[in-house]
Amino acid sequence: MFNDVLKKSGSSSRQEIKVEKTEVEPVREVEPTRAVGASTGKAGRAVISEDVEFRGNLFSASALEIHGKFQGEIEADGPLIIGQSAKVKANIKGVTVEIHGTVEGNITASERVELKANAYLKGDVRSPKFACADSATLNGSLDTSGGKPASDMNAMFTKLQTASK
């Protein structure tokens, strides 16, 4: 093909092209980047800032802070902080949930739920530990029984009353 091009252009002289042998470095395999906190033992933190509006289902394996608007479902395996400027409409499942802003939805926490000063929660809370600042508002029900049915708790109180007589 190169000769055909030379013939068409009218040039009959051949030029020699020398290619020098060069050493090529072998390709190194690169490990994929891991997200901070992903099976490395290091604690990561995700933040949804004030200027962000998010709709959908959100799962976090590490700490999560929400300062913007959120609507959907949240599941957090690390601490969840709802910031003062946050407006959240979601059912939440987590380990610890700390609310400074506004939340509409039910919360289930395996360790603790805490309403900070001026926080507003419209929904039901199910958690073994619950703390509420004086200026916070809870508009819903609270279950701190740790998942035990009320009948078990009544039986336990009955036994305590009988034992004290």
pLDDT per residue as tens digits for the range 87-112: 999 999 999 999 999 999 999 999 99
DSSP 152: H
Mean pLDDT taken over the chain: 78
Domain boundaries, the chain: 47-142
What percentage of the chain reaches a pLDDT higher than 90? 59
Type and span of the H or E element at 46: strand 45-48
Average pLDDT over residues 40-51: 74
Q: Residue 120's pLDDT is what?
A: 97
Type and span of the H or E element at 104: strand 102-104
- Bridge-based pairing state of the strands 142-143 and 53-60: unpaired
Average pLDDT over residues 70-94: 96
pLDDT by residue (tens digit) across 1-40?
545 544 555 555 555 655 555 565 554 444 443 333 333 3
pLDDT band at 44 (very low <50, low <70, confident <90, very high): confident
pTM here?
0.64
